[in-house]
Structure 1
């Protein structure tokens, strides 16, 4: 099977986890084709996607230059891409202890940030009934996660999570952070994320200002039209 692009990325036009993978592909200068699944039609649970990903969630990545190797779970994909294609180790670390710290942050993103922020969005916009207590719970959890990041980043001389430089540990948080800053916490307890969590906000803005980030944001906006 011949493919013009090295990777096929099954994703969703609004799903933060899919954009996370696209962001790293852009950072590494790798060629890919995005297939945006329609969640309203339940395409993520149907063939051909579910043939690759039995969990029926996005993202799913196929590496056509590595025997059509298939991988799902966004942070597993990030680790794969830097291990195989970041030959200069620009976006990862080489020190043994720092590798474990990097993985720690990826686990925190997957177990803490993603689920809590996702539930906040669900109860704010998609749950069939209004449940104020659930909205408040997940807004508070969103603020707590951001507070953890802010406290660590405030003590980091470089302003990054690990290795004194930008890595996939930082990148993994960006797409969900945007939702928190712009939506979840916009009007929560007076808003003002930048003032309450200055180290976090400075870090978020640094990542957002990268060329790959700006390119991905532009693609996102184009899909809304």
Structure 2
């Protein structure tokens, strides 16, 4: 049985293992780990890797190995002990280990704190971080120069040090980073990309799943849930960054550059010059307009689109009422005032009529789901948490239950929301 590799496709360390396995003609069973939904924290994964990191390799003999460079060494030692990819001669092996340690301790952090941070988290590196990147690329350039401009740890053959560094420099190609000042690195990278028959496939697969979209969010926020729903419905992969709003992360200078209103959700589209968009309904419209322009989720026909916009604007008011009634009750245990309760009843009656006019199916169309449904669904999720009685609003009750059952992603997002909400309430009580 082939070894099993637990991975995510956009991870440089995971690419290292994929490159090594391909070079050794070793088949791997690849299992993609859903880290945003904390699959790596499940008990069964923690048994394999108490540090809950990826990549993690489980061999057919039950041996579990984590840390990409350890996995690379293990694969060579077990499956190709005589390969020059990881030489057995002590001095040659030491040179490979030396470069791997340089990459782990210096080069990889420099890449992560600059190019990766800017591309995938929207964070502008400071002057010292850019300086460290320059110094590390200079060192790499010198290492290659000493090996006749061919490899990083040997003058005459490829090693796992080349493959590990190659995996980490993919982001340089993704960002079209200028390597003119580092001619040996530039030639080495181009040569590797051209000569290794498996590199392009792994590289292209990586670029396909590299997150072009980053969403700053809170798990308890209904507007953030709206974007998660829309992304799932459109089959869009989004890099999720959870902001600790209680500790004012949304007020940090780097976030204020993205959103001067310092609100969540905030979306950054790295494929559109780092465009930052805030307000959930604006984000939902943008995702449809750019990534699914012909989708009925946000119809292109003006009259149909106007109905969706109309309901979204109504829902903005409803969300404020829900926040001061059901959400307030969930967080504080305090019953809403009579005026607030009447406002909630009035808004739910309107919603009930909207659904009734659409044959009891949807909120802005008689025959298909729209972003108005998803936004309202995100905001009415709280009715389940507080066990609010919807029997006086039969169309709302039926609509809510049907979408709960029909949307394959709903329950998972709901369960994560409720777990986070329980933790938020517990933390609030402990601080009193």
Question: TM-score, with normalisation over the residues of structure 2?
Answer: 0.46
Contact 2:220-2:418 at 8 Å conserved across structures:
no
> Which residue matches 2:44?
none
Shift of residue 39, structure 1, vs aligned partner: 2.1
Alignment partners' CA distance in 2, 1:169 and 1:8: 22
1:42-191 pair list within 5 angstroms? 42-110=248-316, 112-121=317-326, 123-124=328-329, 135-157=337-359, 159-163=361-365, 164-183=367-386, 186=388
Alignment partners' CA distance in 1, 2:416 and 2:245: 19
1:26-37 pair list within 5 angstroms? 26-37=232-243
Shift of residue 153, structure 1, vs aligned partner: 1.1
Deviations 1:32-63 (A, max 9, x none): 11111112212222232222111111110001
> Which residue matches 1:200?
396
Shift of residue 158, structure 1, vs aligned partner: 5.8
Deviations 1:110-135 (A, max 9, x none): 1x1111111225653667xx6x6x53
Secondary structure, aligned partner of 1:61: strand
Alignment partners' CA distance in 2, 1:120 and 1:94: 35
Structure 1 205/95 Cα, relative in aligned 2: closer, same or farther at 3 Å? same
Deviations 1:47-106 (A, max 9, x none): 322221111111100011111111000101011111111144131223221111111011
Structure 1 124/162 Cα, relative in aligned 2: closer, same or farther at 3 Å? closer
Alignment partners' CA distance in 1, 2:345 and 2:312: 18
> Which residue matches 1:216?
413
Unaligned stretches of 5+ residues in structure 2:
1-114, 121-209, 424-432
Larger of the two Rg values belongs to structure:
2
Alignment partners' CA distance in 1, 2:377 and 2:383: 10
If asked which structure has higher relative contact order (CA below 8 Å, sep 6+), I would say 1
> Which residue matches 2:247?
41
Question: TM-score, with normalisation over the residues of structure 1?
Answer: 0.84
Alignment partners' CA distance in 2, 1:172 and 1:123: 19
Alignment partners' CA distance in 1, 2:278 and 2:307: 22
The count of corresponding residues between Structure 1 and Structure 2 is 214
Alignment partners' CA distance in 1, 2:360 and 2:392: 20
